[in-house]
């Protein structure tokens, strides 16, 4: 069978599995819909957390960014990996001890304020929607090439699939679906990497192969450095000194944003005990490391193969993979000097090849002439990564509306049945809106996701950390800090992001900090404002301070004390 048929078979099979699992594990109560009943095994939860965490940005876009940015792309790898460790060690056990379903729920109870809950709700919706837009773009990219359909049509198919199993299953269905999706995505990411590592270096371990020697005896990275220099690019491994501050800010925004992501935090409420939350966090880190340690190797393999395949090659003789991707509009050739050859150069005025960085992981097996079933497997993996995270994010959106807005704010007397229906309707509306926005995203998948992380860092991270470790922190400080942090960050992103029609240009960046990294500065503003305002106003009530002391010692899985919300 050719790659097209294999793709139909594997994608259809995996989708049937996801839908079947969702139907089997359908949520029958609000507790099952929000936290899967709280009885998920730590290893299963660790695998689901890994799938939830490793989005289209991790599977499709991160290796693409590293492939084109070289050393600079490491900021995404370091930020996301470090952020998960920070979340697992610093926040997860304490939030699980508190025993609330959502981040707005935690903030509303900890800061004894309906207004604090409302601000956190708005932030959660803002962050989650921005993040899910990137996932829908990833779905469109995957479908566009391998099902030979327009990008927009691919997004619409993704909407239909997510709509079905997220609306039907809630967190219970999503959890077990994500276990299946993790198995698919990790197999799909590592198998091609092993094939190509053997092909290029003779070493079956990609993590060792990309630092080893090629068949001609030269070190692979040295070879890629020389290829890059010959085309006018900087050495692949070169450190751009002028970008170090921005790189540090982007890394920090990704790291601290991770620790404030609502869809990851809620996963630690699906296990029975605080101890299980710690264990599942450890398992998730192991599962995540399998992909994250492979990504740099995939990036190097793909970049080397791309240059060797297309640079200075006659356009009339391009391989089939090139023509296939041209049809999607995500790769294009413009013969500026009319010599019939592809000039792939660093000079924008002479460069004739335009390539969307998000296609590099999907195109890599084709470029390397791997078997058709491997090519199809990567498509299934990319879709699994995008859909698993999209489902988790959509659940956050639905629970924020049904639980935090309706149940806790607008209509406290709503029945459990009514709340469940409100949650499902919220997912339905959110998935359609995210799909429409995903057709015109403000950047590559990883860039869009980085913006979401910056918003999470500037809004949630200080409120959560201070809510756990500063018993004097009060509602006035938390509300002020969250508003300042997210308004500043969102305004900066809008002003300096051309795809959002912002009037700003890179020359106007504050201290050279790009929109992807500005969340770090917004977070610092949040911390300063929160602490200053809390010290100038009345401290938190005694019962809240006592609660804060209790949740810092995560023994057992007790619920927080009831607090009167004003």
Which CATH number fits the domain that encloses residue 192? 1.20.1740
pTM here is 0.80
- Tell me whether residue 555 is in a domain: no
Residues 381 and 352 in one domain: no
Between 115 and 488, the more confident residue is 488
Whole-number pLDDT of residue 418: 82
| Mean pLDDT lowest among 6-15, 57-66, 263-272 | 263-272
- Tell me whether residue 538 is in a domain: no
- Tell me whether residue 234 is in a domain: no
Residues 345 and 425 in one domain: no
Residues 42 and 90 in one domain: yes
- Rounded to an integer, the average pLDDT of 463-482 is 93
Asked whether the predicted pLDDT for residue 410 surpasses 50, the reply is yes
Between 199 and 550, the more confident residue is 199
Whole-number pLDDT of residue 27: 53
- Residue 326 near residue 342, CB atoms below 8 Å: no
SS3 string of 485-506?
A: HHHHHHHHHHHHCHHHCCCCCH
C-alpha distances out from residue 134 to 220, 436, 480, 496, Å? 32, 11, 29, 18
Between 232 and 406, the more confident residue is 232
Determine what percent of the chain is predicted with pLDDT higher than 90.
Answer: 22
Whole-number pLDDT of residue 301: 93
- Tell me whether residue 318 is in a domain: yes
Q: Where are the beta strands (DSSP E) in 424-514?
A: none
pLDDT digits (tens, 9 = 90+) for 176-206: 777 888 888 899 999 999 999 999 999 999 9
Going by C-alpha positions, the residue among 265, 248, 135, 140 that lies closest to residue 516 is 248
- Residue 548 near residue 94, CB atoms below 8 Å: no
Residues 346 and 373 in one domain: no
pLDDT band of residue 499 (cuts 50, 70, 90) is low
Residues 361 and 374 in one domain: no
pLDDT band of residue 557 (cuts 50, 70, 90) is very low
Whole-number pLDDT of residue 563: 42
**Which stretch, 3-7, 188-192, 313-317, 527-531, has highest mean pLDDT?**
527-531
Residues 326 and 357 in one domain: yes
How many Å is the maximal CA-CA distance in the chain?
78
- Tell me whether residue 163 is in a domain: yes
- Residue 106 near residue 291, CB atoms below 8 Å: no
Determine what percent of the chain is predicted with pLDDT higher than 70.
Answer: 88
pLDDT digits (tens, 9 = 90+) for 420-463: 788 778 877 877 887 777 777 665 566 677 888 899 899 989 99
Asked whether the predicted pLDDT for residue 558 surpasses 50, the reply is no
Residues 395 and 335 in one domain: no
Residues 286 and 313 in one domain: no
Residues 89 and 125 in one domain: yes
Residues 16 and 140 in one domain: yes
C-alpha distances out from residue 21 to 180, 253, 457, Å? 8, 35, 34
Residues 20 and 57 in one domain: yes
Whole-number pLDDT of residue 560: 43
- Rounded to an integer, the average pLDDT of 276-305 is 88
Q: Per the structure, how many domains does the chain have?
A: 2
Q: Which residues constitute the domain of residue 314?
A: 304-367
- Tell me whether residue 524 is in a domain: no
Pull the structure tokens for residue 274: 């605080």
Residues 279 and 162 in one domain: yes
């Amino acid at each position: 069978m050719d790659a097209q048929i294999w793709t139909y078979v594997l994608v259809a099979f995996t989708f049937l599995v996801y839908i079947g699992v969702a139907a089997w594990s359908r949520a029958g109560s609000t507790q099952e819909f929000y936290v899967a009943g709280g009885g998920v095994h730590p290893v299963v939860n660790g695998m689901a957390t890994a799938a939830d965490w490793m989005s289209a940005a991790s599977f499709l876009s991160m290796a693409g960014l590293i492939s084109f940015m070289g050393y600079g792309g490491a900021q995404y790898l370091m930020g996301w990996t470090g952020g998960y460790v920070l979340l697992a060690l610093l926040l997860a056990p304490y939030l699980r001890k508190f025993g609330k379903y959502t981040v707005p729920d935690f903030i509303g109870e900890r800061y004894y304020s309906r207004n604090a809950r409302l601000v956190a709700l708005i932030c959660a919706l803002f962050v989650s929607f921005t993040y899910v837009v990137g996932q829908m773009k990833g779905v469109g990219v995957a479908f566009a090439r391998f099902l030979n359909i327009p990008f927009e049509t691919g997004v619409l198919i993704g909407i239909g699939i997510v709509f079905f199993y997220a609306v039907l299953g809630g967190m219970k269905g999503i959890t077990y679906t994500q276990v299946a999706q993790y198995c698919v995505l990790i197999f799909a990411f590592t198998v091609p990497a092993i094939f190509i590592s053997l092909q290029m270096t003779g070493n079956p371990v990609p993590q060792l192969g990309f630092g080893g020697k090629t068949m001609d005896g030269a070190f692979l990275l040295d070879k890629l450095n020389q290829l890059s220099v010959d085309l006018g690019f900087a050495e692949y491994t070169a450190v751009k000194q002028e970008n170090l501050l921005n790189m540090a800010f982007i890394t920090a925004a990704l790291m601290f944003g991770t620790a404030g992501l609502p869809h990851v935090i809620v996963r630690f409420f699906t296990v029975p005990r605080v101890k299980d939350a710690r264990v599942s966090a450890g398992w998730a880190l192991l599962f995540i490391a399998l992909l994250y340690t492979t990504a740099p190797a995939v990036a190097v393999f793909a970049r080397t193969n791309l240059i060797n395949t297309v640079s200075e090659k006659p356009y009339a003789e391009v391989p089939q993979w090139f023509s296939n991707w041209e049809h999607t509009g995500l790769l294009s050739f413009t013969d500026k000097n009319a010599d019939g050859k592809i000039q792939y150069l660093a000079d924008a005025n002479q460069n004739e090849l335009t390539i969307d960085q998000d296609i590099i992981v999907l195109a890599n097996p084709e470029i390397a002439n791997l078997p058709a079933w491997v090519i199809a497997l990567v498509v299934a993996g990319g879709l699994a990564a995008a859909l698993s995270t999209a489902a988790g994010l959509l659940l956050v959106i639905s629970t924020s509306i049904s639980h935090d807005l309706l149940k806790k704010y607008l209509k406290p007397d709503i029945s459990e049945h009514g709340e469940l229906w409100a949650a499902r309707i919220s997912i339905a509306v959110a998935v359609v809106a995210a799909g429409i926005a995903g057709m015109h995203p403000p950047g590559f998948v990883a860039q869009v996701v980085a913006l979401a992380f910056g918003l999470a860092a500037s809004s949630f991270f200080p409120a959560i950390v201070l809510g756990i470790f500063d018993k004097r922190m009060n509602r006035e400080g938390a509300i002020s800090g969250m508003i300042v942090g997210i308004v500043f960050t969102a305004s900066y992103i809008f002003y300096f992001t051309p795809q959002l029609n912002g009037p700003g240009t890179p020359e106007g960046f504050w201290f050279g900090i790009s929109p992807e990294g500005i969340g770090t500065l917004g977070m610092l503003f949040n911390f300063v404002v929160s602490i200053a305002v809390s010290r100038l106003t009345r401290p938190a009530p005694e019962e809240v301070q006592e609660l804060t002391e209790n949740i810092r010692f995560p023994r057992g899985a007790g619920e927080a004390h009831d607090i009167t919300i004003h």
